[in-house]
Amino acid sequence: MIPGAFAYHRPTSVKEAVGLLGQLGDDARALAGGHSLIPMMKLRLATPAHLIDLGGIGDLKGVRADGNDIVIGAMTTQHDLIGSELLGAKIPILRETSEQIADPQVRYLGTLGGNVANGDPGNDMPAVMMCLNATYQIMGKAGERRLAARDFYQGAYFTSLEGGDVLTAVRIPVPPAGHGYAYEKLKRKIGDYATAAAAVVLTMTGGKVGSCSIGLTNVAETPLWAEEAAKILVGSALDPATVKKAVAAAEAITAPAADARGPAQYRTKMAGVMLARALARAKARARG
Amino acid sequence: MAKSQVSMKVNGKTIEALVEPRTLLIHFLRDEQNITGPHIGCETSHCGACTVDLDGKSVKSCTVFAIQANGADIRTIEGMANADGTLHALQEGFREMHGLQCGFCTPGMIVRAYRLLQENNNPSEEEIRYGISGNLCRCTGYQNIVKAIQFAAAKLNGVPFQEAAE
């Protein structure tokens, strides 16, 4: 399989990349880790005339603390996320999620920015970013702007990114110390997208849920933030009856496609099962 | 499309060449450089037969453009043997433990296992299985591949290899 011909550009700054994307218009695509785009190009489902490789821009890599936030450069790979001590200590759900993405070779090149910006409902990080209330930093023709992950996803492969935009970093407010978390993903085999998956971050105070946030992967055209389900759980001890109500609320907002991973109803039910498991594991991990 | 100049080190040897941007690294290595150890299994980023070590990362060379490897340091199965021509511990392990049958996946398996052992010199069986989960083998059932990697880890650590009871 040989992709269509294209011209290759390797800018060394975000400004240069944005300039190239603006100037070349719809014929150009930004290349991050390439593990979604290059397979599409090999199938000729994508035939960009220009590839703008973001791999030469040092500013786009790395994990750093900034006040109460952690800022992760868009070209930081999943392998880097797994190895980050800072993330392991402050936002461990990112390590747990990264470890469930694809396989080792893909994780060495696959990036956080590519994962969240591509708009593929099968990608794992978007629902986690909604769960964590992350903000995406985007550089475009008119300068930098910030968009909440919870407002970013419009449809399958359709996001709030506009032509000429480069997602440069993901900014995540650090969850409270002692929070519980889990990313539960049902997949048929290593390397597969989720049949359904659930991300949970919660805090417990005196045996009761103090705060809770839930994201769901691959059970709709976009990742989902299950706001209602989380609200039901706040104040409860995660007793079976309340969990059942929350699971029902989460299932109610899903609209999965039937595909080789199963019929729509099955995937909805599996989203519920993943949520119940994630809640139990997050509770067991929470302190306080 | 105009060709671009690339320069990369492959198995310690510097290669300078002109490539079309769309040329995948696996095609560059196999068809243009006659480095045919990395295999094309699926060509869809799944099987790992094309795995090469690139700047300290295991990558599927069917999903990287050769031009992206400009300036890179690459190692393939051809570069695994020791300088004196003896087999690398992993190669020896695959031979001793029967870690292959048809052998098609073996170059990718060994190159991947090399990086795994660089990062974790004493992996558990579970860590080995997770670490090679991007490499498919349709013959062995993986059992002997895991043993081969355990053999190599023991040898590199200078401890006797003890096969786990089955």
Residues A115-160 pLDDT 10s? 999 999 999 999 999 999 999 999 999 999 999 999 999 999 999 9
| CB B97 within 8 Å of CB B151 | yes
> Could you tell me which residues come within 8 angstroms of residue B34 by beta carbon, excluding any fewer than 6 positions away?
none
Q: Which fold has domain B89-157?
A: DNA polymerase; domain 1 (1.10.150)
Interchain contact, A39 vs B45, CB within 8 Å: yes
- The whole-angstrom separation of Cα B72 and Cα B55 is 6
Cβ <8 Å between B65 and A4: no
Query: Which residue positions in chain B have pLDDT lower than 70?
Result: 165-166
Q: How far apart (Å, rounded) are the C-alpha atoms in residues A77 and A152?
A: 21
**Rg (alpha carbons) of chain B, rounded to whole number:** 16
Residue range(s) defining the domain that contains residue A32: 7-52
Note the pTM of the prediction, 2 decimals: 0.96
List chain A residues with CB under 8 Å of B22.
2-6, 41
pLDDT score for B163 = 82
CATH topology of domain B4-79: Ubiquitin-like (UB roll) (3.10.20)
For residue A22, give the H/E element and its range: helix A14-24
d(CA A168, CA A166): 6
Residues of B within an 8 Å Cβ radius of A: 1-2, 4, 20-22, 24, 27, 43-46, 48, 51, 57-60, 62-65, 67-68, 112, 116, 130-134
Domain boundary among A144, A173, A202: A173
Across the interface, whether the CB atoms of B22 and A109 are under 8 A apart is answered no
* Residue A213, beta-bridge partner list: A201
In a domain, residue A58? The reply is no
Contact between A147 and A116 under an 8 Å Cβ cutoff? The reply is no
- For chain B, the average pLDDT equals 96
pLDDT at res. B162: 86
Position B165 scores a pLDDT of 65
Helices (H) and strands (E) in chain A, counts: 11, 14
Q: Which chain B positions have a beta carbon within 8 Å of A42's beta carbon? A: 24, 43-44, 62
Closest CB from A1, A34, A51 relative to B43: A1
Whole-angstrom distance, CA of residue B48 vs CA of residue B106: 10
CATH value at residue A40: 3.30.43.10
CATH number of the domain enclosing A113: 3.30.465.10
Map out the domains of chain B as residue ranges: 4-79, 89-157
